[in-house]
Amino acid sequence: MKLPLIGMLTASMLMVSSSSLADDKKKDPDQIGNRNVGSGINFYSIQKEIALGKQLAEEVRKQSKLVDDPIVGEYINRLGQNLVRNSDATVPFTFQVVEGDQLNAFAFPGGFVFVYTGLIEATETEAELAGAMAHEIAHVAARHMTRQATRGQIANYATLPLVLWGGWTGYAVRQGAGLGIPLGFLSFDRRFESEADMLGIQYMYKAGYDPTATVDLFERMVSLQKRKPGTIARVFNTHPMTEDRLVQTQKNIAEMLPSRPEYVVTTSEFNEVRDRVKSQYVRREKEDPNRPRLRKSPAAGAPAEESDEKPTLKRRDWVD
Ligand SMILES: [Zn+2]
């Protein structure tokens, strides 16, 4: 903890006096990139934050199964970088796909984003996937993880790798990635989750996507949680996907994002990537997880079309 106390107090007082102006800017998508969303008391420099994120990302890469299909990887990276360009983020990002049935994505400080195959499979349009990824980009842009660590006085750098973010669903990555994390560290600041929701819909909107796709995805997750609590309990049990999050997002869209005549809803590439993920990586609900699995190599060719799952088009398809 090397920050002088006086400096911290001054920064804190300034934040209070200008907070309503800063809040207004945070709600205005025209101010994206021009509003310092990551400000707030933080013991970590950007450099330290990147080093920390890199270290955590290495742990995930060591302990989980990454998807190495280049078509999937290239697509997710391109989708992510486009969102980053339309965000407040100031650090370079990497995006990777992790095998796992969680309907989740998560990010580490400094721009390391991981998307579970389960989330790709559960999304019905590119806009829905973009919404979940934009939420993660927002956590990074707003420096939520290190700000929360700072607030929790977890100032010892060595202990911070034990803190993992809740991701898109608010569910900690701990179980999915198989990391040995003490539960005590998995506390989430609701305000940061709401802020990531609020910023995320702005980023996807600015990138041209229909922000209501996020509401669609929330609705399906909420109803899935009600309908089959047992099936997905491990995804939701610590931090449920709640209806108020859905309602707040609807309100934010109505208040902050003037509707446009055209939005990107989905692309044929999204369908192709989702089909590849479905056929190659995703464990079926009733399948025995201990059964040995065969994996098709990308060279084996594209999987067959699933004609019963047409993309949801609201206004128009993406043509470029
Ligand atoms: Zn989150």
Q: Which of 20-24, 41-45, 87-91, 169-173 has the highest mean pLDDT?
A: 87-91
CA 5 to chain centre: 33
CA of 177 to the centre of ligand 1 (A): 17
Mean pLDDT to the nearest integer, 15-39: 83
CA of 316 to the centre of ligand 1 (A): 29
Between 8 and 99, residue with greater pLDDT: 99
Residue 165: per-residue pLDDT: 53
Q: Give the chain's mean pLDDT.
A: 76
CA of 72 to the centre of ligand 1 (A): 23
Q: How confident is the model over 138-150, as pLDDT tens digits? A: 999 999 888 877 7
Between 235 and 262, residue with greater pLDDT: 262
CA of 75 to the centre of ligand 1 (A): 22
Between 215 and 245, residue with greater pLDDT: 215
Residue 229: per-residue pLDDT: 60
CA of 195 to the centre of ligand 1 (A): 9
CA of 139 to the centre of ligand 1 (A): 7
CA of 249 to the centre of ligand 1 (A): 13
Predicted confidence (pLDDT) at residue 40 exceeds the cutoff of 70: yes
Q: How confident is the model over 98-124, as pLDDT tens digits? A: 998 878 888 888 999 999 998 999 999
27: which residues sit within 8 A by CB, 6+ positions away? 198, 252, 255, 256
Between 197 and 244, residue with greater pLDDT: 197
* Cβ contact 273:71 at 8 Å: yes
CA of 163 to the centre of ligand 1 (A): 14
CA of 136 to the centre of ligand 1 (A): 6
**For the chain, how many helices (H) and strands (E)?**
13, 3
CA of 131 to the centre of ligand 1 (A): 11
Predicted confidence (pLDDT) at residue 219 exceeds the cutoff of 70: yes
CA of 292 to the centre of ligand 1 (A): 33
CA of 271 to the centre of ligand 1 (A): 25
CA of 135 to the centre of ligand 1 (A): 6
CA of 242 to the centre of ligand 1 (A): 13
Residue 63: per-residue pLDDT: 81
CA of 202 to the centre of ligand 1 (A): 15
Separation of alpha carbons 37 and 199, rounded Å: 9
Predicted confidence (pLDDT) at residue 163 exceeds the cutoff of 50: no
Residue 41: per-residue pLDDT: 87
Residue 19 vs residues 22, 37, 255: alpha-carbon distances, Å: 5, 11, 19
296, amino acid identity: K
Percent of the chain exceeding pLDDT 70 equals: 66
Residue 147: per-residue pLDDT: 85
Between 136 and 293, residue with greater pLDDT: 136
Considering only 11-15, 167-171, 253-257, which range has the smallest mean pLDDT? 11-15
Between 41 and 189, residue with greater pLDDT: 41
* Measured CA angle at 278 (ends 273, 281), to 5 deg: 100
Q: Return the axis-axis angle of helices 268-280 and 126-141, rounded to nearest 10°.
A: 90
Predicted confidence (pLDDT) at residue 199 exceeds the cutoff of 90: yes
Considering only 52-56, 72-76, 93-97, which range has the smallest mean pLDDT? 52-56
CA of 306 to the centre of ligand 1 (A): 31
Percent of the chain exceeding pLDDT 90 equals: 44
Residue 221: per-residue pLDDT: 83
CA of 149 to the centre of ligand 1 (A): 15
Q: How confident is the model over 249-299, as pLDDT tens digits? A: 999 999 999 999 999 999 999 999 999 999 986 554 445 455 555 544 444
CA of 267 to the centre of ligand 1 (A): 25
Mean pLDDT to the nearest integer, 74-94: 98
| Tokens of residue 68, six digits | 């190495």
Q: Count Cβ atoms below 10 Å from residue 19 Cβ, excluding itself.
A: 10
Closest by CA to 166, choosing from 114, 221, 123, is: 114
Residue 22: per-residue pLDDT: 78
